[in-house]
Structure 1
Amino acid sequence: MQKKLIVLPLLLLGICFNTLGQRQSVDVQHYGISLTVRDNTDKITATAEITLRFLNELPELRLDLVGPAIADTGMTVLKVTEKVSAGRSAAAKPGAPYNIKNIPFRQDSAALYLSVNGRKDETHTYRIEYAGIPGDGLIISKNKYGKRTFFTDNWPDRAHHWLPCIDHPSDKAAVDFDVITPDKYTVVANGLKTQDVLTGNHQRRTHYTEKALLPTKIFAIGIAGFAVDHSADVQGIPVYSYVFPENKKQGFADYGKAGEILRFFIQQIGPYPYKKLANIQSKTIYGGMENAGAIFYSEESVGSRDIEELLAHEIAHQWFGDAITETGWEHVWLSEGFATYMTHLYMEHTYGTDTLKTGLKADRKKVIAFEKKRYTPVVDTSAKDRYTQLLNANSYQKGGWVLHMLRRQVGDSLFWKGIRSYFATYGGHNANTSDFRKVMEKESGQNLDDFFRQWLYMPGMPELSIRPGGEGKFIITQQQEPLFTFPLEYAIDNDPRIYKVQIKDKVTVINIHANHTIRIDPQINLLFMYGRDM
């Protein structure tokens, strides 16, 4: 996701009240979402068929769903049913005779509760019929050209404003979308399109199937008048651009850069995890939103001078954040820090090392500025349910810097070997910071405990003062507490050679010939504050 200056109403910031115990009690296998939208009302009618396995005994199933409020806002559940085998109260098998069983339920402002009496290891499918006007999560509005549009915008946990679900990144499921719209619209969603037909009465029915397991934060439905371009095929993956017709020429040119970006990441990381890549101009409140295989970009993205970096950031997310999803919000750097650094690596590959250095210097300034406002570690457990505050320079730029320093510590070859192994191990699943560390330790043969502890679990960074000590000496002092351990590179005058000293104490003295000056971190390989930065 690319950040965008946004002001979120309070209802967005504390919207998922699902308990850890509930998430550990069920595992959603599949969502079948049927959705009807209209032009004469913002009210949607929908059905969600949710197939899940009970991991423990559970008398009552809690699903995240914003309940009904005034003037049809919020979701009103109309009916909940289950197919059960004829003659006994158990889940019906496909093709077997079945009866429809009504499931008792209740709602409050944040959740839907089903009386299920679930037994461990049983799999059930519940069909929930509901309707209402989404207060968020499914944005029904007009684009900058005054045309009506419908776009999901679920990050971080806003899906349950329009969909009953387990609205947490740790629960991943396959999904089917069956969408009925006025026939003037084009529909795009996660997965492959398996049906697109006119049904009469000026309506269109479109079906998409996504078999890969996704968290709800990256479920995507986009409904608008689109111009569509099939811009490339990369190793069998079709690449599409969906833009507003008024932006067709510029939008196709801008989004058309996606093919080469996709090719680079496949080569460096591993197979692309989805069956298509669609880049979509949208009404997302973010600069970009990395929905799996159906990336949403802000409507102002077309014509942006930073469009190539924006595309690279969101496409990198397809591996990091989408295929490998963080186990909890405190590990969001595994998504945003990775996308930030992978963007730098793509730009380095395309435009040279100086581009990487320029990007890292700009990122370092952002991290320093953020630290002066908020002193907190990258793995931040203080956010509680206000997850949008994690969209900060720690998760993005400092997370990217950690990867850069890790790359320099283990070397390019072992760094990429570790990245590929991390994706191969956790693609399609969830991972946390410790999981990533263990993979990198295995592939590099190094103990990285101290590296991860100080850069990710401790707040701050080295704050250095460097002064002459007489007779060709320079005194380097760490001014922060606690102390960091790190290699410091330096150069002498205009000598192209790079020297390195290991810093671990409060004070370190380096010796050079008299009457010389030194340049600290000439290759831009260390995250630190120095002199005027402090």
Structure 2
Amino acid sequence: MIRSVSLSLLTTTILGWFHNPAPAANIPGAGFTVASYSLALTPDIQNKTVLGRESITLRANVDGVRRLNFSANALIIDRATLDGVALAHTVEGDALGFDLLRPLRRGRTVRLELHYHGRPARGFVGSSTTLYTSYFACDWMFCSEDKFGEKAAFSLDLRVPAGVSSLSVGSLIARRSGPDGSEIHSWKAPRPYSVYLYGFAMGRFTHASEWAGSKKLTYISDTTDSAELKRRFAGTREMVAFLSLKAGMPLPVSEYRQLLVDGGEAQEAATYSVLGTESLPTKPNDSSEDWAIVHELTHQWWGNLITCETLKDFWLNEGITTFMTAAWKEHRYGRVAYDAELDVAKSRLKRAQVKGFDKPLAWNGIYPTLGVRRAIQYSKGALFMAQLRVTLGDTAFWSGLRRYTRDHAGGTVTSIDLERAMEASSGQDLQQLFAEWVFGDEISD
């Protein structure tokens, strides 16, 4: 996201856990790592409520875990069990916690199962006939939104009314009849992803598909027909080819879906994007409005496949993606369009600087507003990538980006990983440049 929409779960990062200390009592996600989330959901489109069952497989990563904490939300838990044994739960501050009968030793794997219902406070959007999630996964399921870089397997059995289509992370692997004439659609992610990338949609959708080499592109909407869908998303195939070349690896999903909705949405999910009609160009070949489709597509590599370890390095997700949007415009429309996109970034950063706020990209403090955070992590991040390109030259720069992408595919990164990749590709010492733009007073080696 770059203009009107951003990750709305931009919260402070949690501290890392070292050695084997007992975890702090009320920090969501402290003391354990989630391996998988398996959900069965029955959403109510009109009332925007959900009935759910969630199975969480997790592993203690310290000794003495006495409480399992997740981000608190507005949902009501009807029953909770750990390996089949009933658990009580309490809410303390922002943490929903389950007190264990016996502490977990490091390395112990358990399964927490939750039955719940309610109306999510955030994240359920749509009309009387359509429902889609808009960020805030930890409001319609149970997870820890602060564990930004933690990647877990995800599967979903989504119960929908007969005749209704669905969309979620990964592939639709099965459909079967449900109670009262409903259908159950089973979705499974192709690899572990961070929880902020989970989502789903349901409605009476029109579908249109085409191929970008071996990758299937599917366009979905309840607002228009298949011909209009193909017209609105006509540039996607060329974008896939361009980004695959620059990343040094193909689109990381076998099928990439784009859901067109009313409004100004511009949101990436693990294997699809949600795009509002107001975010797309109103006329063809308009370089000034051509950003949303390529920006969200770019996240399939930088952000989704490769994810910053914590929000401290969030610029690696959004700064690279904002820069790649400019690079796409250069490829599609010429150098003037590239410069114009970077000028937008410069003007946003300048507004923050005029207000007396400018920080290194990997600054770990509290931003005064979300707009200022965007000015640093999106706009300044893009300008730094452009400066790296000038410093290294095109050959070494793109080689470094390919190295960074291939080396860390499927994992998490910090800023030093990008520095090392760029140094390896160029043979240059970039410590001073990264200190100036990224680390500030921190040491980058």
After TM superposition, the score normalised by the length of structure 2 is 0.87
Instruction: Tell me the CA shift for residue 312 of structure 1.
Output: 1.0
Q: 1:114 aligns with which of 73, 93, 98?
A: 98
Aligned-residue RMSD, C-alpha: 2.6
Q: 2:49 aligns with which of 38, 43, 51?
A: 43
The equivalent of 1:380 in structure 2 is 363
Following superposition of structure 1 onto structure 2, how do residues 221-240 of structure 1 map, counting pairs within 5 Å? 221-234=200-213, 236-240=214-218
The alignment status of 1:126 with 2:112, answered yes or no, reads yes
1:368 to 1:125, Cα distance in 2 relative to 1, 3 A: same
Question: Residue in 2 aligned with 1:242?
Answer: 220
| Aligned residue identity for 1:271 | P
Please state how far the C-alpha of 1:436 moved relative to its aligned partner: 1.3
The structural deviation recorded for 1:340 is 1.0
Q: CA deviation at 1:442?
A: 2.1
Cross-structure match for 2:334: 352
Quote the Cα distance in structure 2 between the aligned partners of 1:183 and 1:20.
46
CA deviation vs aligned residue, 1:419-476 (integer Å, no higher than 9, x gap): 11111122211111122112212222111111112123459xxxxxxxxxxxxxxxxx
Instruction: Say if 1:346 and 1:17 are closer, same or farther in 2 by CA, change over 3 A.
Output: closer
Q: Distance in 2 between matches of 1:219 and 1:165?
A: 11
- Mean Cα displacement is larger for which, 124-133 or 245-254? 245-254
Matched, 1:208 2:187: yes
Deviation at 1:395, TM superposition (A): 1.7
Q: Distance in 1 between matches of 2:115 and 2:352?
A: 45
Q: Does 2:166 correspond to 1:187? A: yes
What CA distance in whole angstroms lies between the structure 1 residues aligned with 2:13 and 2:387? 37
Q: Point out 4+ residue stretches in structure 1 off by more than 6 angstroms.
A: 12-19
Q: State how far apart, in whole Å, the 2-side matches of 1:346 and 1:219 are.
A: 27
1:161-172 to structure 2, matched below 5 A, reads 161-167=139-145, 168-172=147-151
SS at match of 1:400: helix
Aligned residue type for 1:119: R
Offset of 1:111 from its aligned partner?
A: 2.7
The one of 59, 63, 69 equivalent to 2:66 is: 59
Which of 94, 117, 122 is the aligned partner of 1:136? Answer: 122
Q: Does 1:449 align with 2:431?
A: yes
Paired residues of 1:140 and 1:148 also in contact (CA < 8 A): no
**Which residue is equivalent to 2:413?**
431
Verify the 8 A CA contact 2:352 2:358 in the aligned structure 1.
no
2:346 to 360, 364, 367: 364
- Taking the aligned partners of 1:40 and 1:13, their CA distance within structure 2 comes to 25
Task: Give the SS at the match of 2:187.
Answer: strand
Structure 2 CA distance for aligned equivalents of residues 373 and 265 of structure 1: 35
Shift of residue 129, structure 1, vs aligned partner: 0.8
CA distance in 2, matches of 1:194, 1:387: 42
For 1:17 and 1:333, locate their aligned partners in 2 and report how far apart those are by CA, in whole Å. Answer: 14
SS in 2 for 1:37: strand
Deviation at residue 188 of structure 1 after TM alignment: 0.4
> Does the Cα contact within 8 Å between 1:65 and 1:162 map onto a contact in 2?
no
Per-residue CA distance 1:299-348 (angstroms, 9 max, x = gap) = 42355456642111111111111111112212211111111111111221
Task: Write the distance in 1 (CA, Å) between the matches of 2:290 and 2:181.
Answer: 38
What is the aligned partner in structure 2 of residue 315 from structure 1? 297
Q: In 2 relative to 1, CA 339–241 (structure 1 residues): closer, same or farther, beyond 3 Å?
A: same
Following the alignment from structure 2 to structure 1, what is the Cα–Cα distance between the partners of residues 238 and 364?
37
Larger radius of gyration: 1
Instruction: Report the counterpart of residue 150 of structure 1 in structure 2.
Output: 131
Q: Alpha carbons of 1:389 and 1:213: their partners in 2 closer, same or farther (altered >3 Å)?
A: farther
Once residues 168 and 9 of structure 2 are traced to their aligned partners in structure 1, the CA distance between those partners, rounded to angstroms, is 25
1:196-233 superposed Cα distances (whole Å, 9 cap, x missing partner): 34435231211110031211111121122211111224
Fraction of identical pairs, as percent: 20
Matched-pair contact (CA < 8 Å) for 2:271–2:300: yes
Distance 1:60 1:256 in 2: 50
Structure 2 counterpart of 1:80, which letter? A
* Corresponding position of 2:22: none
**Take 1:326 and 1:387, find their aligned partners in 2: how far apart are those partners?**
21
State whether residues 13 and 310 of structure 2, in contact with CA within 8 Å, keep that contact through their aligned partners in structure 1. no
Q: 1:475 maps to what in 2?
A: none
Matched residues, number: 421
Instruction: Report whether the alignment pairs 1:418 with 2:424.
Output: no
Cα distance in 1 between the residues matched to 2:372 and 2:424: 29
Q: How much has 1:194 moved relative to structure 2?
A: 0.6
The offset of 1:289, in angstroms, is 0.9
Looking at structure 2, the residues matched to 192 and 159 of structure 1 have their Cα atoms a distance apart, in angstroms, of: 19
Instruction: State the alpha-carbon separation in 1 of the partners of residues 9 and 189 from structure 2.
Output: 28
* One-letter code aligned to 1:105: H
User: Partners in 2 of 1:353 and 1:318 — Cα distance?
Assistant: 25
Q: Distance in 2 between matches of 1:272 and 1:24?
A: 33
Any unmatched runs of 5+ in structure 1? 67-73, 84-99, 460-534
Distance 1:194 1:443 in 2: 41
Structure 1 residues 307 and 281 mapped into 2: Cα distance closer, same or farther (>3 Å)? farther
Specify the alignment match of 2:81 in structure 1: 81
CA distance in 2, matches of 1:360, 1:324: 23
For the 8 Å contact 1:222–1:282, the answer to whether it is kept is no
Tell me, yes or no, if the aligned pair for 2:5 and 2:267 is still in contact at 8 Å. Answer: no
1:17, 1:332 → 2: CA distance? Answer: 10
Separation in structure 2 between the aligned mates of residue 108 and residue 389 of structure 1, nearest angstrom:
30
Question: Residue 325 of structure 1 corresponds to which residue in structure 2?
Answer: 307
The Cα of 1:274 is off from its aligned counterpart by: 2.3
SS at match of 1:169: coil
1:16 offset after TM fit, Å? 7.7
**Corresponding position of 2:178:** 199
CA deviations 1:70-89 (Å, max 9, x no partner) are xxxx1111111244xxxxxx
Q: 1:101 aligns with which of 63, 85, 100?
A: 85
